[in-house]
Structures are given as structure tokens and as C-alpha cells.
Amino acid sequence: MAVEATADRRIGRVTVLGGRRGGRYPHGNSVLVEGREETVLIDPSLAVLPRATSLPRVDHVLNSHCHEDHVAGNFLFPDARCHLHAADLPGIRSLDGLMAIYGYPEPILALFRKVVVEEFHFVPRSDAVAFEDGDVFDLGGARLRVIHAPGHTRGHSFFHVEPDDVLYLGDVDLSSFGPYYGDAWSDLEDFERTLERARGLEARFYATFHHVGVLEGRATFLERLERFSAVIRRREERLLSYLAESHSLDEIARHRFVYRPQDMIPYAEPVERRSMEQHVARLLRNGRVCEEEPGRFRAVSA
């Protein structure tokens, strides 16, 4: 059965290209910005593959960060200049660099290497150019400003497009799943600082790579952002309840706090482990959890 794409959304010089399955992974919503002089494509997703020949000439490809679903269509634009935040640049320059971002153990790593090449068409770009927080791309009649927003990856970034006042949030996707900080290059507390920074960013339109697509209005955005952020608190509360009895990190990972137990995710264990070890480390620092014996953790009674 064919899976329909979400409808495109045109906002002035910005077009949000609707991904299949409502932008749900492995699909996503790419963003095309057409200036008078140059055109930028942000996060070419799998949805771009069947429509690449119908797009205008793409002068620049910008990746909000280096994950397989966000670079899946990069290979379609070999003549376009490729840009990525400096902190994620090693991931686009080689397959080994990309694998380091995830940090999966074997045999999961070998499986995922194959997936990113065969299913997500990963092609290294040794010529990729770094951008930094505050950099501006002037396309002629349209400008994109980079806002570094780490946590999901070290280099994850937002883009604010003017004059159409569109803020592209990448994988701060405002979904019910919540923030993802389960890779080696992810950081829970950086993500929380990014969410706090996002609360202060004003725009008329807010666009995400997954799920939501486009939201209009700051009040709606803040409501969705609060629901998205609250997932972190709920995970930590569930973890504290689980640690009423002592458990190891292996047991914590198997219990599942990020994915549902029934979700058939081949890399769930390392993601759960990386996510929850960050929560455990914070709870240890705050005195809410103790290491009862080496490698076993228990909540401290109030």
C-alpha cells in the first residue's frame, strides 16, 4: 500500500516539503528556501528522493545535524555546497565519523553501518563546510540565521528564516515521544539548555523535521514545547520509582524508559543505556540516588 506524504506548506520564500507518514521516522519534512540569488535545501529527507528533479536548482544543502534521516538526500545534490555545524562535521566527512556519533557497540554497529549506506544513501562529503552559531546565509531577499541548539547531537542547530519569520527546529520535533539524547554525542543537560533557549525564540511559524510539520503562533508552540520537555521529567520520575529497589544499568536499560517494551528497535539497548546513565549521573550528583554497591543504584529516601 502506498503511504501518502503530508501536504507541502508554502510560507513566502519557504516551502516545507511534507514527508511520508506525516514525517515519522525514517521520513521527515525538508525545508526549501528560495532567494533571488540562491536556494537552500535544509535536511534532505527520504521524501526528497522521488521529487529531486522537480525542485529548483539547489545551491546549498544545510543539515541541522548529522543523523542518517537528515542527510539521506544529500547525495542527490553533489554540486551543491554542503554545510553542517562544526561540532558535527566529522560525521558527514566519513562513515566512521558518523558511526562515532551514535557510539553503538558491535554487532549493532555493523548492522547500522549497512543501514545508513543502503537505506539512507550515506555518501561522505569531505568538502563539507562548517557553520557556527550566529552565522547568516544571505540568499537575496531571504536570510537564514544559525542558532546552535545542542543536546540531540553536539552540533544540532535551528535555522531562523527571514523575512518570512519561520523557525526550523530540526529534531526538537515537539512529538509525544519527547527529546532523544541516546547517542554517544548526545547530552541530556545540553538538551535541557536548548529547550530553555527555545522558549525565548520568537517566530510566527515553527517547523519540525518529524511529526508536527508547521505550527503557527507562539502560544501554540510554547504549549507543544512544554509537553515535549515534560517527557524528560516523566522519564526521571519513572526511573526514581524503579530505583526504590537497587538495579544495575543493564537492568535499567532492559526495563525501557525511552522506548516501549514491545517496540522492536535493534538499537534500543544502547539508546536506553546512554539515556538513563545520564539521568543516573545527575541523580547521584543531586543526592537523590546512591550507589548501594559497585554498579548498583538505589533511590535515597526523602
Q: What is the pLDDT of residues 208-249, one digit of tens each?
A: 999 899 999 999 999 999 999 999 999 999 999 999 999 999
Q: What is the pLDDT of residue 2?
A: 40
Is the same domain home to 194 and 265?
no
Res 1 pLDDT > 70: no
In a domain? residue 3: no
Q: What is the pLDDT of residue 21?
A: 82
Q: pLDDT digit string (tens) for 122-146?
A: 999 999 999 999 999 999 999 999 9
Q: What is the pLDDT of residue 3?
A: 45
In a domain? residue 222: yes
Q: What is the pLDDT of residue 219?
A: 97
Q: What is the C-alpha separation between 302 and 292, in angstroms, rounded?
A: 16
In the chain, which ranges are E strands? 9-11, 14-17, 30-34, 39-42, 60-62, 81-85, 129-131, 136-138, 143-148, 157-162, 166-168, 205-207, 214-216, 247-248, 289-293, 296-299
Q: Which three cell numbers stand for residue 291?
A: 550507589
The percent of residues above 90 in pLDDT, for the chain, comes to 94
Q: What is the pLDDT of residue 299?
A: 98
Is the same domain home to 164 and 251?
no
Q: What is the pLDDT of residue 231?
A: 98
Q: What is the pLDDT of residue 301?
A: 85
Is the same domain home to 29 and 142?
yes
Is the same domain home to 163 and 251?
no
Q: What is the pLDDT of residue 5?
A: 58
In a domain? residue 268: yes
Is the same domain home to 294 and 208?
no
Mean of pLDDT values over 156-165 = 98
The mean pLDDT of the chain is: 96
Is the same domain home to 155 and 191?
yes
Range of the domain at 226: 9-230
In a domain? residue 238: no
Number of domains the chain is built from: 2
In a domain? residue 89: yes
Give the Cβ contact number of residue 286 at 10 Å. Answer: 9
Is the same domain home to 19 and 67?
yes
**CATH number of residue 40's parent domain:** 3.60.15.10
Mean of pLDDT values over 181-202 = 98
Give the Cβ contact number of residue 55 at 10 Å. Answer: 18
Q: Give residue 22's pLDDT band: very low, low, confident or very high (50, 70, 90).
A: confident
Q: Which of 200, 230, 260 is a domain's end point?
A: 230
Q: What is the pLDDT of residue 4?
A: 54
Is the same domain home to 76 and 122?
yes
In a domain? residue 237: no
Res 16 pLDDT > 60: yes
Res 18 pLDDT > 90: yes
